[in-house]
Amino acid sequence: MGVTWVFEAEQTAKSVERILESLGAELTGQYSIDVTPYNPPVPSTEYPPNIVMHHSKCPQSTFSICPKGDFKKSPKAVCDRGFDLIMSKLSAGLLIDNAGKIEINGNEFRLHSDWTARVGTAVQGTTVKGTIVEIEYDASLIVVQCRDMIVEFIKNTFNKYMGISYDSSDRDLSFRIALEYFDDLRLLFNAKCSGLEAWQIVSYAISLCLFIAWFKRMIRSNEPPLIQIRKSVFSLLRSLPWVRRKLEADLAKAQVEIEEEVHQYDHMREFYKFLPERCMDSEEILADGRRYAMMGERRHVQHYDPQTRDEDMKLSAKSIFCSSSTYSPIRDPHRSDAFPGVRKMEAEILKMTCAMFHGGKDACGVVAGGGTEALMLACLAYRNRSRARGEWRAEIVAPSTAHPALDKAAAFFDMTIKRIQVDGDDRANVGAMKRAIGPRTCMIIASAPNHITGTVDPIEKLAKLAQRYHIPLHVDCTLGGFVLPFMEHADYSVPAYDFRLPGVTSISADLHRYGQCPGRLSVLMYREPVFLRHQFFTNSEWPGGCYATPTMSGGRDGGAVATAWAIMLRKGRDGYINACQRIVEGTRQLAYRLQGIDGISIKGSADLCVVAFTTSEVNVYNLVDFMVHKGWHVDPLLSPAAARIPITLSMCEEGVIEHFIEDLEVGICNLKSMESDKLGTTASFYHMLKKVNDKTLVDELSMIRLAAHYSIPPPAERRSLRTLSVEGRKLSMLGATGEMGKKLEELRRGYQKDKEARKEAAAAAAQAIKDEE
């Protein structure tokens, strides 16, 4: 053992070790030092503090220091291990300070033949206190002989390779430690890649970039990560050549079947593909229109009142004539300067509807083009309100039974939606929705009633929840908007649901359902104008001038507004109360009759105007197909597997519900006698929805069905003048000579025969309708 110089380095232990390794030092082992302070119970001059140290390289020795103001003048001593026993006997004057213990652990290096260096990290408890370096010169035991040499060695060595003066004002230990770890990672990465070829490194780099791009797209998406991963896996599988060929063949076959199903009621398969060369006769146009209207029409779908149908239709026709003939066919309520009359009609529709829902003097809103647009406008307003407050990832909290227009709004407006499972009675789970509320929640949704089972959510509880957390609550009354407000007047018990609840900030109600208005319109109402302002769109930088719209569409048909205004005034409160009573009684009567059939159970509570049921006797989807074939309006439900019957005023007529029950019982009996495992069209589709994990395939089929609505298949037997191809159009322009003329003449004769046959069919259909009435 020689002369040792101990100092605290400003660098980390790793940095000091690299300096030593660059000088040729070799690692020879590890070492440790423990430092234990002893302090008097109270400050005393009789018992000064003492620090006891043990060095692993001197196992039989104990080093003792009594620190004073000047550490250089502090008494120091080297003793054997018996010194620890002496210190333990001095417990009356000195007590061990366990909290002040310091441990130093590190590595020992041998440099050339005369120098030994030890580098360790000092730790007190869990806190790193610094780096301790020992430089030992083994060739001498006399300090004065080698002191200057050791100091010069330390100064030159560390200053040369560190390149610093030890002014640590601009250094942070944590930053240096991070740099050291980064350097270690760099060295490790280089060591791992040393055996790779260039093409491998490039391939790994490209794969890493693609993974990072995919990961960024995933975290920016509004879909949950598991769903995105599942979609990515299925997309990868579908990209395999043999899988892609099989899917393309199956989808092509499905497209043919879907198009055939869409056009199943069109037996003639004749279409107008081009504008007529000359104007057509009005009688011919009306005959075609009547024939189109009779294609596969379901019974009891329309929401008109059979008791006042004729008067309502006449009034609607006169209203349309007023708005389209007396004033203008393109009358737009948004153009108040040009069409003030229709603007006034729209404003009166809004105010009358707000009064129905107990809106105060500040209640406001817009007339939208249907329930979907009304819901989307509400989501847009609350999203913009959230962004104005600094939150750009707005979130909707809604029960699982809320209308799918919310998902459409989330996709359109870059929002996320949390669907919360409902309770056993098919009502919103208030507790679960409370737990789903977060800092990004911009709105809460409630249904009155929902479109699945006709159940009204606990709006009063949700309103208190929304008011507590200062979150807007939108009540979707698009289905029951003209039933709920009149139930109290018809002596039915109705829980609070409208603007009488302080937490309700907006309501949407359809005019074309139980409002009995012919045009597809909805009213979106807000409690205060501050919410409505977030819905408006304005653009003052367009070169054509200032562009501003209150709804999705830039303009709207004034005829629809005029007919809605006329029907609302025609019905009045008494008319709607009468219709409400018939709807509610019809709903309850149908639910009661269904419960009396073996195997049928009601889903939900059938509060207003929808009855949902399932059956254990037969496949419910096959039963839906049977009832649809009979002409009834019955919709399938996915979860749970059930059927849904919307109650219209025509279904509430005398004997209609009894007729429905009879057909339903016949359908159950017929399906029981058939093969139980045979699935119809609806059953096959919904069975696939439940079994197929790759929902993108289901989406693909849905898009094929949507596209089929605009498809024009070739005629079944012959080609008429309506479906002329390019060659056919050229043929029609040729002269009536030769073979071409004969063919053209045959086509014209056939067309005249078809024209006469259509007129006769239309006349017979009109006579049949009059006979039924």
Residue 278 CA to residue 297 CA, distance in Å, equals: 31
pLDDT at 95 (0 to 100)? 78
Phi first, then psi: give them for residue 378, nearest 5 degrees.
Answer: -65, -45
Q: For residue 120, what are the contacts with CB-CB under 8 A and spacing of at least 6? A: 13, 31, 32, 33, 104, 105, 106, 107, 131, 132, 133
Residue 761 CA to residue 286 CA, distance in Å, equals: 12
Q: Closest Cα partner for 628 from 304, 302, 301?
A: 301
pLDDT at 314 (0 to 100)? 53
Q: Closest Cα partner for 134 from 105, 160, 172, 113?
A: 105
Q: 133: which strand partners?
A: 7, 119
Q: Closest Cα partner for 393 from 410, 378, 376?
A: 410
Task: Dump pLDDT digits (tens) for 451-492.
Answer: 998 899 999 999 999 999 999 999 999 998 899 999 988 888
H runs (alpha helix) in 606-693: 620-629, 656-673, 681-691
Q: For residue 642, how many other CB atoms are within 10 A of its CB?
A: 22
Residue 133 CA to residue 115 CA, distance in Å, equals: 13
Q: E strand or H helix at 308, and its extent?
A: none
Q: Does residue 109 contact residue 25 with C-beta atoms inside 8 Å?
A: yes
Largest CA distance in the chain: 139
Q: For residue 53, what are the contacts with CB-CB under 8 A and spacing of at least 6? A: 33, 34, 35, 36, 62, 63, 64, 65
Q: For residue 442, what are the contacts with CB-CB under 8 A and spacing of at least 6? A: 382, 383, 385, 386, 391, 394, 395, 396, 415, 471, 472
Residue reference for tokens 């060095």: 55
Tokens in use for 484?
Answer: 């709920």
pLDDT at 502 (0 to 100)? 93
DSSP 295: T
Residue 145 CA to residue 150 CA, distance in Å, equals: 10
CA distances from 229 to 27, 303, 696, 704 (A): 49, 44, 13, 25
Q: Does residue 124 contact residue 105 with C-beta atoms inside 8 Å?
A: no
pLDDT at 166 (0 to 100)? 40
Residue 611 CA to residue 642 CA, distance in Å, equals: 10
- Amino acid identity of 740? M
Q: Does residue 596 contact residue 345 with C-beta atoms inside 8 Å?
A: no
Residue 112 CA to residue 98 CA, distance in Å, equals: 39
Q: Closest Cα partner for 512 from 336, 689, 370?
A: 370
Q: Does residue 540 contact residue 376 with C-beta atoms inside 8 Å?
A: no
Burial of 312 (C-beta count, 10 Å sphere; 0-12/13-18/19+): buried
Q: Is 753 helix (H, G, I), strand (E, B) or coil?
A: helix
Q: What residues in the chain have per-residue pLDDT under 50?
A: 160-171, 321, 323-330, 718-737
